[in-house]
Amino acid sequence: MKVAAVVLAAGRGKRMRSSVPKVLHRLAGRPMLIHVLDAVRQVADGPVVVVLGPGMEAARTLLPPDVAVAVQPEPLGTGHALTCALPHLEGSQGHILVVFGDTPLVRPQTLRALVWQHEREGNAATLVTAWMEDPTGYGRVVRGPCGTFARIVEEADASPELRAIREVAAGLCCFERGTLWSVLPEIRPDNVQGEYYLVDAFRILRERGHRVGILQVEEAMEVMGINSRKELAEAEAELRRRTLEDLMASGVTVVDPATTHVDPRARIGPDTVLLPFTVIEGETTVGSSCTIGPGAHLIAARVGDGVRIWWSVVEHSEIGDGSRVGPYSHLRPGCVLGRGVEVGNFAEMKNVRIGDRTKVHHVSYLGDATVGQDVNIGAGTVTCNLRYGVPGKQPTVIEDGAFIGSDTMLQAPVRVGAGAVTGAGAVVTKDLPPRAVAVGVPARVVRTTETKPEG
């Protein structure tokens, strides 16, 4: 049957002590709401609705276009929030999956298991529970004879005896569509908080004689709601642990998991080694047999096979097979390195294409440049891509086999021909023809590489 989904994300999260809505706090580089949506959209094949509170426009901009938004105008409880989503579910058939937006560790396989059990048992509703050593803040699950569901009691309404129960309602549940439509109007705010509790729907259904099923998860952390900065940090650590375990199982060596951070979206090939203090963010791809780290920071990078990167930053750039970057290099967005390229100490690049086997070893800046194959960039070389009074960045082209001497300044726009040579300290202000040898300030051509030097 079709599965629609509602993500309840209207809470502000007072305990976060932040002007940022709780579900927009980041976990592994992305808002926790997006983590929840990723899991939900792998299960739901019907409409997906996110319920937001007023003033949460920042959340709207993050949502995919196929996700509907409902607004809960007042914080009147989870039952009321779900009611706000109903207009967006008109015409949907099958089951309705309900997930809280502050449970970023929930796995798609758990949601699938919930829907499968709900359908297999023919339940009117099925809820997920967990056993917690410290159940503070959660509704307690009261079971009847033979372990069947009886009711859920919110902590604020629970007696000391009920608060001692350690099985809690996790906030994940599945309803048969028609049953949900009929039971929501019967929920009343007859509680200490004066709110419409969604958990009351299970009690009402049970009293009517409907079957309410329970799926108890093994790991309570998976369904933990994030309500504080401390819990956010705990969730971050858990997500990092899962990611690194998956990588190691796939053939990646992680030398020190405690000091290694990898985004769950990253893809890393087998026999690659991640050394301590490595951070890999975004949709980074790393090939096989690479050595990344120590101290490497990759952001949305694409790295080929057999690459070595250490004590360097690579942002939104591509690195070809067998290349080496580091130490203390910075590849800013837009760089594309060919195969066997060497980028060394304190070299910085931005929006540069570099051909195979080219070397940029020492204290250089290349910006808005195209560099050919087998080029040597001497220490201290700078492409002067910004000129006073000229709008925009200016390009530099260095053709195959050129040799750029130490401390050369290339005043863009300028082209250095194939096989050309610049002397140390040259300031190149005009195009150099192929095989030219240029020296001085401004640089002038004194001979070609095919001409014997005088004397």
For 75-96, the DSSP string reads ---HHHHHHHHGGGGTT--SEE
Give the residue among 413, 406, 443, 447 at the shortest CA–CA distance from 428.
443
Identify the residue with better confidence: 314 or 170.
314
Measured in degrees and rounded to the nearest 5, phi and psi for residue 173 equal: -155, 165
Query: Residue 288: is its pLDDT beyond 90?
Result: yes
Measured in degrees and rounded to the nearest 5, phi and psi for residue 52 equal: -115, 160
**What does the chain come to in residues?**
455
Give the residue among 43, 86, 112, 116 at the shortest CA–CA distance from 180.
86
Question: Beta strands 414-416 and 403-404: pairing type?
Answer: unpaired
Query: Residue 339: is its pLDDT beyond 90?
Result: yes
d(CA 280, CA 244): 11
Query: Residue 285: is its pLDDT beyond 50?
Result: yes
CB atoms near residue 190 (< 10 Å): 11
In order of 20, 303, 336, 368, the CA distances from 354 in angstroms are 42, 14, 6, 11
Are residues 267 and 284 in contact, defined by beta-carbon separation less than 8 angstroms?
A: yes
* Distance from the Cα of residue 368 to its chain's centroid: 28
Is 362 catalytic? The answer is yes
Q: Is 179 exposed, middle or buried (0-12, 13-18, 19+ CB in 10 A)?
A: middle
d(CA 416, CA 423): 13
Give the residue among 385, 430, 378 at the shortest CA–CA distance from 402.
378
The model carries a pTM of 0.86
d(CA 57, CA 186): 31
| Cis? peptide before 442, omega within 30° of 0 | yes
> Hey, CA dihedral for 139, 142, 147, 148, is it positive or negative?
negative
Contacts of 92 (CB under 8 A, 6+ apart): 2, 4, 46, 47, 177
- Segment holding 360, helix H or strand E: strand 359-360
Q: What is the reported pLDDT for 451? A: 64
Contacts of 151 (CB under 8 A, 6+ apart): 142, 202, 203, 206
- Segment holding 97, helix H or strand E: strand 95-100
**End-to-end Cα separation, the chain, in angstroms:** 90
Q: What is the reported pLDDT for 453? A: 55
Which residues is 31 bridged to in the sheet? 26
Winning range, highest mean pLDDT, from 226-235, 327-336, 385-394: 327-336
| Cis? peptide before 327, omega within 30° of 0 | yes
In order of 264, 384, 436, 444, 445, the CA distances from 422 in angstroms are 46, 15, 8, 9, 9
Q: What is the reported pLDDT for 454? A: 53
Rounded mean pLDDT, 236-247: 95
- Segment holding 149, helix H or strand E: strand 149-153
Give the residue among 46, 2, 170, 179 at the shortest CA–CA distance from 102.
170
Q: What is the reported pLDDT for 31? A: 94
Structure-token pair, residue 415: 């082209």
Could you tell me the domains of the chain?
3-223 (3.90.550.10), 243-448 (2.160.10.10)
pLDDT in tens, 26-54: 998 899 999 999 999 999 998 999 999 98
CB atoms near residue 165 (< 10 Å): 18
Rounded mean pLDDT, 407-422: 97
pLDDT band for position 452 (cuts 50, 70, 90): low
Measured in degrees and rounded to the nearest 5, phi and psi for residue 217 equal: -85, 155
What is the CB-side half-sphere exposure of residue 357 using CA atoms within 13 A? 7
Q: What is the reported pLDDT for 387? A: 84
Rounded mean pLDDT, 116-123: 94
Rounded mean pLDDT, 421-428: 97
Lowest mean pLDDT among 8-17, 207-216, 400-409: 8-17
Question: Beta strands 167-176 and 336-337: pairing type?
Answer: unpaired
% of the chain residues with pLDDT over 90: 74
Are residues 432 and 450 in contact, defined by beta-carbon separation less than 8 angstroms?
A: no
d(CA 351, CA 395): 10
From the list 210, 316, 361, 362, the catalytic residue is: 362
d(CA 22, CA 35): 13
Q: What is the reported pLDDT for 352? A: 98
Identify the residue with better confidence: 301 or 391.
301
Query: Residue 422: is its pLDDT beyond 90?
Result: yes
Q: Is 137 exposed, middle or buried (0-12, 13-18, 19+ CB in 10 A)?
A: middle
Angle at CA of residue 231, ends 228 and 232, nearest 5°: 85
Rounded mean pLDDT, 207-212: 91
Q: What is the reported pLDDT for 108? A: 95
Query: Residue 57: is its pLDDT beyond 90?
Result: no
Q: What is the reported pLDDT for 455? A: 46
> Which residue type occupies 55?
G
Question: Beta strands 285-286 and 427-428: pairing type?
Answer: unpaired
d(CA 38, CA 109): 12
Winning range, highest mean pLDDT, from 63-67, 343-347, 445-449: 343-347
pLDDT band for position 82 (cuts 50, 70, 90): very high
Q: Is 57 exposed, middle or buried (0-12, 13-18, 19+ CB in 10 A)?
A: exposed
